């Protein structure tokens, strides 16, 4: 009974803190803009199964991809066991799912195997991060705190897996010693039963209880650290994939506000009509976080800072300032900085800073070739180029700011219908003197 | 197009030449090559000639949505007046914009890249490149971002090249992993931002590591970048940069080259 009470209080604290954190993050969404409507659920479900559960994009890097997939699938399997533990804790039951029979064997066996596989993967990840200097984990946006963040989360996961395995071993030992039936199947832990020197039933039971509490408290701690960490992706990557932009990579979103203006301009009927007094058109493009769409903010929260985007960016690879990962991290950081002010003072709040220029420089934006390698690579379908172009849209349409050569391109297109200063009269020169071929 | 209309004829395809096909000395040859193949295949097509204008793609990607939409709507109106339904493109940027972006503004067409068209013509046996022309020539293909990653056209160029030579080699980064040539998103028209290296040099060096005799491209801007890269490397004599359709032309009419 005491255990139940302590557990219930711990759980309530955990959920309380978690709800507090999440609600703080969620309220910033109301300052973001509408984006594409969420339709096409069956297609979205398919993308989620493929990209999130199938880990298809992670596998574009086969070695680390495979290890990550093990960790991900391991989490999915072990989650069932964690739910059982939490229910046991609340209800004061012992192995609530035991009546599931064969299914229980499958759940426990896969959890037991995956605990070790995940632990091995995590050790390799930690080794890579600490001892190998891997280019992808570096960059101007990667501060010491980014590395601490990554390594802390990895260590926590490792401890979670070790405590789980320890718990299984102590349980098997305990049941064997008393000649009682072992509920579930534990292929790996069974094999490790000799590790414990304690031979008394009481001692083993204490070991079991300790691991049980360590494991559950680590889960609670982990869950509450995640929203502050790059590992928020544990919660957000699956929904982020589900909410993916389903359009082809090459398609930039149409600006409906501009379309209205252009149509009015091209339509002779509207020339003499008074300007419509409908709601004023907002700012074109993106200057600060209140101009971004909810999806972009979601992307920034779900970003794992894995750097696959930056590692394939042609601009970054050749030493330009642009790093697609930084763009996403800047969005998240900027909302964190400006969000509280927006909540307090409303939409008009300004802190004399903006995402563009104070965090993301113009130089970064003009380095992008819109090649979409970053978006193709992102394991959770973040689309960086649309945001980069949205910031260019702000620069060009609100500030008339563009590199000189680009301005020349604009005026050439306007005047001669081509980016170069050639006369449309010469458009057919290529076809003069073409020989016919016989096949 | 206007001439045909005056004669009361309606061509099946619009061959959209694009600014590079019309004005870039090098790509004019590519436009010519494709036109000759179309004529040789007796395809019913026409070009807009002086009526053609920019799709708006470079403006859109450089942030000038207003200019893009004005160009797009102008084109959509023009296409409507000629009742155009099928568009053939030789430029991946024009292709992508017509195919993916014009529908939002009310212009939906069947947009066909010249690579798709040529691949089909070869598969159907209408076009028969002579495999002995290139024979064992070592060719590597550079995927343009706007055909590959953005529109999943990876197999067509490879199928075509494999019909012409037994020695197609892949660069380290190919297909969806292919490195950009550095020209997209308006970069072609401006100096690159400060950095350690030009993107086209990085890509040209990668292509040269396959020790090719020909670097095949399928985009006017990739072509300029790769050709520049070869010039800087002093390799333009040993290694040729040809468009896929230029190779086909050579392989179907060797006498005229």
For A394-429, write each residue's pLDDT tens digit.
Answer: 999 999 999 999 999 999 999 999 999 998 889 999
Q: Could you tell me if A432 lies within 8 Å of chain B, comparing CB atoms?
A: no
Report how far residue A305's alpha carbon sits from residue A328's, in angstroms, rounded to the nearest whole number: 8
**Is A249 inside any structural domain?**
no
Together in a domain, A230 and A357: no
Q: Could you tell me if A283 lies within 8 Å of chain B, comparing CB atoms?
A: no
**Is A45 inside any structural domain?**
yes
Q: Which CATH architecture has domain B129-256?
A: 3-Layer(aba) Sandwich (3.40)
Together in a domain, A74 and A191: yes
Q: CATH number for the domain including A322? A: 1.10.1060.10
Together in a domain, A189 and A298: no
Per-residue pLDDT tens digits for B165-178: 999 999 999 999 99
pLDDT tier for residue B257 given thresholds of 50, 70 and 90: very low
Domain boundary among A180, A207, A242: A242
**Is A357 inside any structural domain?**
yes
Report how far residue A189's alpha carbon sits from residue A195's, in angstroms, rounded to the nearest whole number: 10
Nearest chain A residue (CA) to B94: A250
User: Phi, psi (5° rounding) for residue B108?
Assistant: -110, 125
Reply yes or no on domain B2-117 having CATH 3.40.50.1860: yes
Per-residue pLDDT tens digits for B5-31: 677 788 999 999 999 999 999 999 999
Q: Could you tell me if A282 lies within 8 Å of chain B, comparing CB atoms?
A: no
| Chain B residues near residue A391 by CB distance under 8 angstroms | 63
Per-residue pLDDT tens digits for B183-195: 988 888 888 889 9
Nearest chain B residue (CA) to A363: B193
Q: Do B150 and A317 touch (CB under 8 A)?
A: no
Core vs surface per residue B137-174: b (16+ CB within 10 A) or e: bbbbbbbbbbbbbbbebbebbbebbebbbebbeebebb
Q: Is the pLDDT of residue A307 over 70?
A: yes
Range of the domain at A93: 2-242
Distance of CA B218 to the CA centre of its chain: 4
**Per-window interface: A 243-272 vs B, CB < 8 A:** 247-252, 254-255, 258-259, 261-263, 265-266
Residue A359 near residue A367, CB atoms below 8 Å: no
Q: What is the mean pLDDT of residues A332-343?
A: 94
The predicted structure's pLDDT at residue B254: 46
Per-residue pLDDT tens digits for A203-239: 889 999 999 999 999 999 999 999 999 899 999 999 9
| Chain B residues near residue A368 by CB distance under 8 angstroms | 185
Together in a domain, A74 and A179: yes
Q: Do A318 and B59 touch (CB under 8 A)?
A: no
Residue B99 near residue B149, CB atoms below 8 Å: no
**Is A350 inside any structural domain?**
yes
Together in a domain, A209 and A299: no
Q: Do B71 and A389 touch (CB under 8 A)?
A: no
The predicted structure's pLDDT at residue B253: 64
Together in a domain, A14 and A153: yes
| Model pTM score | 0.93
The alpha carbon of residue A367 is apart from the nearest alpha carbon of chain B, in Å, by 6
Other CB atoms within a 10 A radius of the CB of residue B177 amount to 16
Q: Is the pLDDT of residue A20 over 90?
A: yes
How far are the Cα atoms of A27, A108, B249, B253, B257 from residue B133, in angstroms, in the given order?
67, 64, 11, 10, 11
**Is A439 inside any structural domain?**
no
> Measured over all CA atoms, what is the biggest interatomic distance in chain A, rounded to whole angstroms?
99
Domain boundary among A224, A242, A260: A242
The alpha carbon of residue A383 is apart from the nearest alpha carbon of chain B, in Å, by 13
The predicted structure's pLDDT at residue A365: 96
The predicted structure's pLDDT at residue B190: 87
Q: Do B180 and A369 touch (CB under 8 A)?
A: yes
Together in a domain, A371 and A222: no
**Is A428 inside any structural domain?**
no
pLDDT tier for residue B242 given thresholds of 50, 70 and 90: very high
| Chain B residues near residue A257 by CB distance under 8 angstroms | none
Percentage of chain B beyond pLDDT 90 is: 89
Domain boundary among A174, A207, A242: A242
The alpha carbon of residue A259 is apart from the nearest alpha carbon of chain B, in Å, by 7
The predicted structure's pLDDT at residue A267: 77
Per-residue pLDDT tens digits for B137-159: 999 999 999 999 999 999 999 99
What is the domain count for chain A? Answer: 2
The predicted structure's pLDDT at residue A43: 94
Together in a domain, A308 and A393: yes
Q: CATH number for the domain including A77? A: 1.20.950
Q: Is the pLDDT of residue A51 over 80?
A: yes
**Is A67 inside any structural domain?**
yes
């Amino acid at each position: 009974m005491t255990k139940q009470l302590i557990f219930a209080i711990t759980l309530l604290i955990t959920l309380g803190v978690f709800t507090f954190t999440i609600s703080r993050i969620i309220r910033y969404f109301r300052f973001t803009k509408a984006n594409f409507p969420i339709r096409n659920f069956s297609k979205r479900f398919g993308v989620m199964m493929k990209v999130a559960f199938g880990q298809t994009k992670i596998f574009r890097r086969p070695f680390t991809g495979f290890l990550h997939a093990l960790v991900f699938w391991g989490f999915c399997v072990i989650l069932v066991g964690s739910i059982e533990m939490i229910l046991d804790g609340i209800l004061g039951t012992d192995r609530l799912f035991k009546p599931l029979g064969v299914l229980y064997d499958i759940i426990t066996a896969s959890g037991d195997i995956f605990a070790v596989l995940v632990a091995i993967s995590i050790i390799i990840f930690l080794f890579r991060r600490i001892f190998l200097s891997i280019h992808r984990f570096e960059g101007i946006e990667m501060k010491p705190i980014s590395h601490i963040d990554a390594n802390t989360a990895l260590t926590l996961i490792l401890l979670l897996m070790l405590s789980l395995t320890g718990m299984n071993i102590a349980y098997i030992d305990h049941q064997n010693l008393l000649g009682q039936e072992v509920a579930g199947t534990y292929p790996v832990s069974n094999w490790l039963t000799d590790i414990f020197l304690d031979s008394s039933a009481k001692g083993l039971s204490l070991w079991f209880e300790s691991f049980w509490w360590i494991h559950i408290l680590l889960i609670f701690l982990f869950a509450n650290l995640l929203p502050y960490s790059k590992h928020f992706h544990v919660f957000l990557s699956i929904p982020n994939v589900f909410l993916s932009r389903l359009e082809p990579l090459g398609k930039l979103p149409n600006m409906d506000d501009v379309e209205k203006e252009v149509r009015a301009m091209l339509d002779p009927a509207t020339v003499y009509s008074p300007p419509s007094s409908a709601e004023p058109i907002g700012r074109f493009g993106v200057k600060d976080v209140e101009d971004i769409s909810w999806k972009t903010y979601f992307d920034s929260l779900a970003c794992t800072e894995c750097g696959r985007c930056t590692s394939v960016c042609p601009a970054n690879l050749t030493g330009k300032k642009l790093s697609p990962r930084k763009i996403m991290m800047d969005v998240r950081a900027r909302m964190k900085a400006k969000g509280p002010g927006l909540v307090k003072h409303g939409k008009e709040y300004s802190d004399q800073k903006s995402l563009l220029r104070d965090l993301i420089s113009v130089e970064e934006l003009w380095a992008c070739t819109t090649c979409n390698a970053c978006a193709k690579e992102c394991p959770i379908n973040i689309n960086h180029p649309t945001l980069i172009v949205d910031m260019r849209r702000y620069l060009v349409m609100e500030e008339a700011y563009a590199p000189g050569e680009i301005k020349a391109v604009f005026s050439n297109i306007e005047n001669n219908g081509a980016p170069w200063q050639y006369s449309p009269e010469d458009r057919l020169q290529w076809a003069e003197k073409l020989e016919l071929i016989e096949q | 197009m206007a001439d045909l209309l005056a004669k009361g004829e309606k061509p099946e395809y619009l061959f959209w030449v694009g600014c590079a096909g019309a004005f870039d000395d090098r790509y004019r040859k590519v436009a010519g090559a494709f036109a000759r193949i179309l004529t040789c295949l007796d395809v019913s097509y026409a070009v807009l000639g002086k009526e053609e204008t920019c799709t708006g793609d470079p403006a859109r990607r450089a942030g000038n949505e207003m200019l893009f939409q004005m160009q797009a709507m102008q084109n959509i109106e023009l296409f409507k007046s000629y009742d155009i339904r099928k568009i053939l493109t030789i430029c991946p940027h024009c292709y992508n914009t017509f195919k993916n972006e014009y529908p939002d503004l009310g212009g939906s067409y069947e947009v066909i890249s010249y690579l798709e068209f040529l691949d089909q013509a070869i598969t159907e046996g209408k076009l028969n490149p002579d495999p002995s022309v290139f024979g064992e020539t070592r060719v590597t293909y550079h995927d343009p971002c706007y055909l590959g990653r953005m529109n999943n056209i990876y197999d067509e160029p490879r199928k075509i090249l494999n019909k012409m030579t037994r020695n197609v080699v892949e660069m380290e980064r190919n297909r969806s992993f292919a490195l950009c040539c550095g020209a997209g998103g308006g970069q072609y028209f401006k100096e690159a931002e400060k950095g350690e290296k030009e993107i086209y040099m990085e890509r040209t060096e990668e292509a040269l590591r396959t020790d090719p005799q020909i670097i095949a491209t399928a985009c006017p801007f990739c072509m300029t970048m790769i050709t520049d890269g070869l010039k800087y490397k002093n390799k333009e004599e040993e290694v040729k940069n040809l468009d896929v359709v230029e190779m086909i032309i050579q392989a179907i009419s060797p006498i005229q080259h």
